[in-house]
């Protein structure tokens, strides 16, 4: 209902200006506007919207809020546009203005969405066809080369993908960047070990697979921790790598390529699209970062290290905390690379991406790091006034015991093992249900449904939780066919598809088929359950706008769950297939619009739907 809300806000503001011109002029002189404080009604009995702008005007005007509200309502009566939108306003309490939309306007909104593949969600793209909008960078997933993806990468990957999908759907150009750990001192250790124990890898393709590579990393780390000669050789290897030695670069490339292939297996299973831009990409720009910070007077040498001391951030002794940009030995660290990334991403093309919104999806433990890096970037003058730098933190994935999710042996859970188990459990549940129902299905059907449900359950369990908090991972809970779960929502879509088939419409007709239903007779609604479903359907655009602004995917999950519940109440309490015309076609149209809304919402979560389960 964003379009309606925007129209109402403009009408209310104009009414306030007509009712209180002196106050409006004073606000304008102060660079402000009178605010009607329009918001969705807190309860259905209060209507659709509530305007609370009369209350803050009471003191400056020296009038009771109800009198102010009465004056505003009197001005609204002279606005024909308002009369087309709303029924007569009701003043409640100390001065709230309750607004109820006209039924014919709600029906018109449904009609418009039936013909709209975007279901009423506006696009942020430039409608005039002007210059390309600035891209939004979503930095997510970011595993380390030579290590397997584990459950710790789950939240960044799934949350980042969802946010990228929502932003892209809204019409923003999105750069989905995978800032993999593919550079640094650890590669000196790995390359040295590779040259000594598996020199054939430098000449033979795929001589080491990732499973071996993970064990290989542990062996190299153990040697580095215990063998001083190996340590020295590893440090020399870092110098050779950074200076461009061909053999060292080849070994580095082999390690990276084999890791990428295994990462891609996981990304394909999760339907994740990413553009890799690892730490190595920014290596040529690290010197420029130091030069810029030095030239701006921010860089201070402290105990041999070059750093920027943060403003307003103190350590235990009350001294400002530093962001170390160049270590005592001349090397760089994560902060330097992140500063180079910010500088590049905000720089105008062709020197950079020209982005104006940078979103970093990492665990909450990195909040202080990003706060410091963002401050340094702003003080260096790299961040345009209109640009946004946002850290999107998330909590831990915990086991049933409330502790960090681990295997029984205490190891970190590998992401591929977690996904395998989700699909296996979904398959076992499906086979039990088919046996109970006496249904016989092809093996291809069972595998497709099991894979879809298993992966969807993992994604939805993560996204439906407020990302800021920790959440407990439970296969039983996430695979349940009841409650706020992916299987419940997938089943809702399947149920509506069955209704569509029985109603004589195409199961995959979506909103377009719904538009055909009742196209001749028009849409006619009369029951409270119909209006409740309509109002819920029309919330989609506002929910998408919330997710885009606040970067909280659980808002979309909560909406989809509530929509499915409102639909079930509608279908259980109001006849659809047995109703007379035009009610039958109108209700079938609502069914298909609900299915289209659920499919769109689940798609933005990265979850495909099913026609049968």
CATH number at residue 6: 3.30.1360.70
Q: Is residue 316 part of a domain?
A: yes
Cβ atoms within 10 Å, residue 469: 11
Report pTM.
0.91
Write down which residue in 346, 361, 394 finishes a domain. 394
Question: Which structural domain range is residue 362 located in?
Answer: 282-394
Residue 417 has pLDDT above 50, yes or no: yes
300 and 261 together in one domain: no
Structure tokens, 243: 């200076």
Q: Is residue 509 part of a domain?
A: yes
300-302 and 305-314 beta bridge pairing: antiparallel
492 and 535 together in one domain: yes
Query: Cα Rg for the chain, rounded, in angstroms?
Result: 29
Question: In the prediction, which pLDDT does 126 show?
Answer: 53
Q: Is residue 87 part of a domain?
A: yes
Q: How many independent structural domains does the chain possess?
A: 5
Question: In the prediction, which pLDDT does 506 show?
Answer: 42
Q: Are 120 and 597 in contact (CB under 8 A)?
A: no
523 and 422 together in one domain: no
Alpha-helix residue ranges (DSSP H) falling in 314-414 = 334-346, 367-379
pLDDT tens digits, 172-207: 999 999 999 998 888 999 999 989 988 888 877 666
What integer is the mean pLDDT of 563-590? 94
Q: Is residue 451 part of a domain?
A: yes
DSSP codes of every residue in 533-586: HHHHHTTHHHHHHHHHHH--HHHHHHHHHHHHHHHHHHHHHS-STTSPTTHHHH
Separation CA 96–CA 50 (nearest Å) = 7
Residues 6+ apart with CB under 8 A from 351: 344
Residue 576 has pLDDT above 90, yes or no: yes
Q: Are 612 and 494 in contact (CB under 8 A)?
A: yes
Query: Omega before 582 cis (within 30°)?
Result: yes
Angle in degrees, CA 147, 153, 159, rounded to 5: 155
Residue 19 has pLDDT above 80, yes or no: yes
Q: What percent of the chain is modeled with pLDDT above 70?
A: 94
365 and 419 together in one domain: no
Question: In the prediction, which pLDDT does 387 show?
Answer: 96
pLDDT tens digits, 515-565: 454 444 579 999 999 999 999 999 999 999 999 999 999 999 999 999 999
Write down which residue in 247, 271, 295 finishes a domain. 271
Question: In the prediction, which pLDDT does 209 show?
Answer: 67
Q: Are 420 and 389 in contact (CB under 8 A)?
A: no
- Write the CATH number for 298: 3.40.50.620
580 and 506 together in one domain: yes
Q: Is residue 323 part of a domain?
A: yes
494 and 589 together in one domain: yes
Q: What percent of the chain is modeled with pLDDT above 90?
A: 72
Residue 131 has pLDDT above 60, yes or no: no
Write down which residue in 86, 101, 116 finishes a domain. 101
Separation CA 484–CA 464 (nearest Å) = 8
Question: In the prediction, which pLDDT does 412 show?
Answer: 78
Structure tokens, 42: 């807190």
Q: Is residue 161 part of a domain?
A: no
Q: Are 145 and 242 in contact (CB under 8 A)?
A: no
Q: Provide long-range contacts, Cβ within 8 A and 24+ apart, for 239-242.
A: 239/188, 241/187, 241/188, 241/191, 242/283
421 and 369 together in one domain: no
What integer is the mean pLDDT of 323-352? 93
DSSP codes of every residue in 300-343: EEETTEEEEEEEEEE-TTSPEEEEEEE-TTS---HHHHHHHHHH
Which strand (E) or helix (H) includes residue 107? Answer: helix 103-114
Q: Is residue 599 part of a domain?
A: yes
Question: In the prediction, which pLDDT does 197 show?
Answer: 86
């Amino acid at each position: 209902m964003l379009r309606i809300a925007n129209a109402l806000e403009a009408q209310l503001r104009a009414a306030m200006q007509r009712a209180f011109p002196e106050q409006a002029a004073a606000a304008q002189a102060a660079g402000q506007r009178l605010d009607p404080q329009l918001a969705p009604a807190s309860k259905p009995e209060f209507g659709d919207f509530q305007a609370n702008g009369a209350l803050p005007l009471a003191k400056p005007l020296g009038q009771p809020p109800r009198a102010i509200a009465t004056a505003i309502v009197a001005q609204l009566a002279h606005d024909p546009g308002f009369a087309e939108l709303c029924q007569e306003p009701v003043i409640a309490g100390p001065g709230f203005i309750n607004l109820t939309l006209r039924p014919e306007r709600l029906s018109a909104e449904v009609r418009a969405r039936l013909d709209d593949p975007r279901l009423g969600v506006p696009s942020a793209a430039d409608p005039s066809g002007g210059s390309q909008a600035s891209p939004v960078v979503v930095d997510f997933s970011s595993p380390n080369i030579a290590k397997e993806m584990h459950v710790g990468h789950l939240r960044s990957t799934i949350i980042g993908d969802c946010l990228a999908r929502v932003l892209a759907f809204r019409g923003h150009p999105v750069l989905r960047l995978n800032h993999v750990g593919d550079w640094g001192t650890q590669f000196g250790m790995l390359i040295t070990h590779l040259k000594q124990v598996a020199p054939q890898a430098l000449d033979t393709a795929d001589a080491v697979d990732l499973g071996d590579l993970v064990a290989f990393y542990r062996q190299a780390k153990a040697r580095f921790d215990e063998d001083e000669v190996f340590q020295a050789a590893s440090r020399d290897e870092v110098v050779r790598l950074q200076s461009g030695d061909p053999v060292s670069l080849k070994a580095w490339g082999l390690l990276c390529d084999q890791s990428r292939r295994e990462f891609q297996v996981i990304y394909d299973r999760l339907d994740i699209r990413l553009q890799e831009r690892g730490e190595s990409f920014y290596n040529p720009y690290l010197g420029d970062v130091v030069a810029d910070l030095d030239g701006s007077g921010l860089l201070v040498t402290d105990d041999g290290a070059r750093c920027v001391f943060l403003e307003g951030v103190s350590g235990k002794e009350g001294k400002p905390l530093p962001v170390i940009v160049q270590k005592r030995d001349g090397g760089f660290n994560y902060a330097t690379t992140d500063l180079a990334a910010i500088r590049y991403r905000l720089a105008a093309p062709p020197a950079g991406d020209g982005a104006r919104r940078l979103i970093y999806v990492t665990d909450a433990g990195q909040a202080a790091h990003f706060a410091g890096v963002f401050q340094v970037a702003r003080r260096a003058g790299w961040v345009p006034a209109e640009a946004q730098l946002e850290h999107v933190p998330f909590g831990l994935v915990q086991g049933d015991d409330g502790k960090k999710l681990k295997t029984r042996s205490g190891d970190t859970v590998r992401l591929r093992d977690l996904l395998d188990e989700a699909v296996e459990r979904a398959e076992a549940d499906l086979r039990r249900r088919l046996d109970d129902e006496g249904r016989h299905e092809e093996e291809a059907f069972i595998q497709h449904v099991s894979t879809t449900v298993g992966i969807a359950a993992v994604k939805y369990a993560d996204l439906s939780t407020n990302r800021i908090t920790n959440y407990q991972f439970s296969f039983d809970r996430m695979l349940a066919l009841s409650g706020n779960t992916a299987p419940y929502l997938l089943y809702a879509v399947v149920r509506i598809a069955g209704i569509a088939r029985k109603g004589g419409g195409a199961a995959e007709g979506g909103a377009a088929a719904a538009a055909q239903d009742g196209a001749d007779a028009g849409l006619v609604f009369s029951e409270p359950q119909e209006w409740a479903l309509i109002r819920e359907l029309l919330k989609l655009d506002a929910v998408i706008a919330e997710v885009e602004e606040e970067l909280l995917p659980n808002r979309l999950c909560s909406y989809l769950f509530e929509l499915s519940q409102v639909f079930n109440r509608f279908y259980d309490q109001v006849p659809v297939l047995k109703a007379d015309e035009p009610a039958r076609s109108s209700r079938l149209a609502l069914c298909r619009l609900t299915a289209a809304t659920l499919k769109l919402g689940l798609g933005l979560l990265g979850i495909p739907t099913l026609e049968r389960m």
